[in-house]
Structure 1
Amino acid sequence: MIDRRRLLSLGASAGAALACGPFIRPSYAQAGALKVGLLLPYSGTYAPLGEAITRGLELYVQSQGGKLGGRSISFVKVDDESAPPKATELTTKLIQSEKADVLIGTVHSGVAMAMVKIAREDGIPTIVPNAGADIITRAMCAPNVFRTSFANGQIGRATGDAMIKAGLKKAVTVTWKYAAGEEMVSGFKKSFTAGKGEVVKDITIAFPDVEFQSALAEIASLKPDCVYAFFSGGGALKFIKDYAAANLGIPLWGPGFLTDGVEAAAGPAGDGIKTVLHYVSDLDNAENQAFVKSFEAAYKIPPDVFAVQGWDAGQLLDAGVKAVGGDVAKRKELNAAMAAASFASPRGPFKLSAAHNPVQNFYLRELKGGKSVNLGLAAPAVADEAIGCKLS
């Protein structure tokens, strides 16, 4: 059962929309609001991420007067609870019972893979605003599936490039033993070793254990000149504090999710950690400045990378809906327009690869005084490898 659904209608009535568009004779499908199904976590550990994505998306729609491509928008919000066993049922209900025109979700990769499987079969235009499982835009790629976030391996590759540019040559990796960690490490190793770096040891810790002392002792004995680590949330905070307490004197690097969300809580223990991600809040571009200003005005907090990914899901959908004059029944044309979309994002230039994953800049950041500070471009226009994707 969908017991956490919230229905939000934005914008003016369809009648007003038609009055403003005399040059297009709308079909029946265009007569009402465009129904967008949101399958996101609104409870549990990932609830803040789901809320940030939703806020970014809603803010973009509001910035367009409550409409996308001339259509008013109705959101049907379903809490996926970050529970893969429920994903098939909830996705099916959004498509079949709620009659969603478009699907946007989600955060948890396990939920996303189940969602994408159904979306591929149904053909519903689908945008993934976070889940980074490589397979979504590799072997599971499809004409109707798009991503506005990242692939896990893509972030790892960008971080490896930045570490080579920093002159680092001998690394130890450490992460939880689960898919996201393994994909982040795999991407890192590809670029780091391609740049003549050496990975002397991969250390994995059972998920979600937070006892890091044995791993830290092993790192100390190996004496690398850097450590590449991927943890997130509370586990990341514990690792950061334990790492600082160990006083290893070895630079700590990782993908941006190592520090995002725990910057202030890390305190002095986090100072000096360098991370790489496709967004940092102080990027100096007009789109980001306007986005930060409007987000802070609306929600009284600064935006994060998840809000950006939600905003860009709105931008991508807008490009597709405009191209078909609001008639989302023209799925082939809608998908083609989204695949070809190119626009200014708060993160910088945005476009998609042939596999429908973002080709995007990655930025080097350093944690200082509880805030990630932009140190500049780490790797420009990075595309995922798209292994196994047959789109062209």
Structure 2
Amino acid sequence: MGKAQGRNTFRTIVALTAAAVIPLGTAHAAEKVKVGLMLPYTGTYAALGNAITNGFKQYVAEQGGTLGGREVQYFVVDDESDPSKATENASKLVKRDDVDVLVGTVHSGVALAMAKVARDTKTLMIIPNAGADELTGPLCAPNVFRSSFTNWQPAYGMGKVAAERGHKNIVTLTWKYAAGEQAVNGFKEAFEKAGGKVAKELYLPFPNVEFQPYLTEIANLKHDAVFVFFAGGGAAKFVKDYDAAGLKKSIPLYGSGFLTDGTLEAMGGAGEGLLTTLHYADGLTNAKDKAFRSAYEAQYKMPPDVYAVQGYDAAQMLRAGLDAAKGPELDQAAMIKAMEAAKIDSPRGAFTLSKAHNPVQDIYLREAAGNQNKFVSVAERALEDPARGCRMK
């Protein structure tokens, strides 16, 4: 499979390799792989985009600056979490910069437009965050992979946890966009399957952070608990507002783990004790995570979060493909086959990929303590997204 206009392989760029990898002074040529990083570097999701980039580059650095024997060349675009600019931005990376792989993004709406460009041009794409169910559902494609999650997965895990904790009637709140709506659907599916009832679904426009009217309504409804989907700066403000309104003490708050991942410090203690579910947690005991965390903190002077893990694993997935692309040209069909079969040794715990190219992974229950989301238990083991509507062509 190749790019547009009948190309069957990726474009191969040949350059002299760095002296450090030239054996015994002999001349040696190393091919490059051109990676287009299309992520948010400004706005409410800026910290997420930076963490993904850090994680990706950390893995590449651990491999000596190469993946599959190829030097990595980066082309970077700030997508600003703006779906209206997504097609143009992705097209520039593919057509102007001729990247071999698109890596992005955070915002589901941007990712959907980005994936269309990838499908239309037959460009390999790895999604290091955006959880839009469609990407590995009805819009799945052989050249589109995900190193993160679907919105359904962590929310489904929390629906099960909420039911196990004895809640019967819950109100949900999120932004009115794909990620929020699908997270609510995942939570609702598990919670109602276990006998609970989502009594009311509340939505506000993205990225609106004027939460007070919704907090007043939640207080008046007096349901057992609240489930939310927020991330980034909006998540920090919501939890602070929820606490300031006195609701935290009277109505338990639950969320997909993005509520507290990378945001606890900004919450200033308001997030203490919150329970969330996600495919990563602080305090995991696997050797890969310990090594990853140590290296990340040494390099970036901050602890890693789930976004850094997803970026790191996107690079691991790309390497699995590049290892199979022997010879001077990048054989995309061979890369796809290798990526589909890969077992990724992730800091989150090893995972494989479903037929829809989505991680089959453990979902953890975590409790916020200080600036950490500490591991409590495994909420769902090896949870596979149902990938409803996926028909690989």
> TM-score, normalized by length of structure 1?
0.89
CA contact (8 A) 1:281 1:303 kept: no
Question: 1:193 deviation in Å?
Answer: 0.5
Q: CA deviation at 1:16?
A: 7.7
Counterparts of 2:281 and 2:176, CA distance in 1: 27
Could you tell me which residue of structure 1 aligns to residue 242 of structure 2?
Answer: 243
1:260-339 mapped onto 2 (5 Å cutoff): 260-325=261-326, 329-339=330-340
- Report the RMSD for the aligned CA atoms in angstroms: 2.5
The question of whether the paired residues in 2 share the 8 Å contact of 1:17 and 1:72 is answered with: no
Partner Cα separation in structure 1 for residue 85 and residue 161 of structure 2 = 39
Secondary structure at the counterpart of residue 38 of structure 1? strand
Q: Is the 8 A contact 1:123 1:144 kept in 2?
A: yes
Q: Is the 8 A contact 2:153 2:363 kept in 1?
A: no
Partner SS state of residue 239, structure 2: helix
Following superposition, the deviation at residue 140 of structure 1 comes to 1.1
Counterpart residue number, 2:350: 349
1:151 maps to a residue whose letter is T
Where do 5+ consecutive residues of structure 2 fail to align? 1-12
Following TM superposition, by how much is the alpha carbon of 1:368 offset from its aligned partner in structure 2, in angstroms? 2.3
Q: Which residue of 1 aligns with 2:10?
A: none
Q: Distance in 2 between matches of 1:217 and 1:43?
A: 31
Matched residue, 1:375: 376
3-state DSSP of counterpart to 1:115 = helix
Q: 1:339 to 1:328 in 2, by over 3 A?
A: farther
Partners of 1:12 and 1:287 lie apart in 2 by: 33
- Conserved in 1, the CA contact under 8 Å of 2:17 and 2:30? no
Displacement of 1:231 after TM fit?
Answer: 2.2
- What is the distance in 2 between the residues matched to 1:14 and 1:268? 48
Contact preservation (8 Å) 2:152, 2:185: yes
Deviations 1:187-210 (A, max 9, x none): 100011011111122222343333
Contact preservation (8 Å) 1:363, 1:378: yes
Cα displacement string for residues 52-100 of structure 1 (whole angstroms, at most 9, x for unaligned residues): 1111111101111221111122112222222222222222222222121
Closer, same or farther: CA 326–259 of 1 in aligned 2, 3 Å: farther
Deviations 1:186-245 (A, max 9, x none): 110001101111112222234333343443333334332221122223332232223223
Between 228-237 and 114-123, the greater mean CA deviation after superposition: 228-237
Deviations 1:107-158, CA, capped at 9 Å, x for gaps: 2222211111111122121101111111111111100100001111222111
The equivalences for 1:179-194 within 5 A come to 179-194=178-193
Contact 1:224–1:250 (Cα < 8 Å) also in 2: yes
TM superposition shift of 1:375: 0.9
Distance in 2 (CA, whole Å) between partners of 1:17 and 1:142 is 36
Partner Cα separation in structure 2 for residue 71 and residue 268 of structure 1: 45
Q: Aligned runs of 1:167-178 on 2, under 5 Å?
A: 167-178=166-177
| Separation (CA, whole Å) in 1 of partners of 2:269 and 2:65 | 43
How has the CA–CA distance of structure 1 residues 19 and 334 changed in structure 2, closer, same or farther, with 3 Å as cutoff? Answer: farther
Within a 5 Å distance, the mapping from 1:212-231 to structure 2 comes to 212-231=211-230
State how far apart, in whole Å, the 2-side matches of 1:34 and 1:237 are. 37
Distance 1:220 1:163 in 2: 19
Q: What TM-score, normalized by structure 2, do the two folds share?
A: 0.89
Inter-CA distance 48–328: structure 2 relative to 1 (3 Å threshold) = farther
1:129/1:147 contact within 8 Å kept:
yes
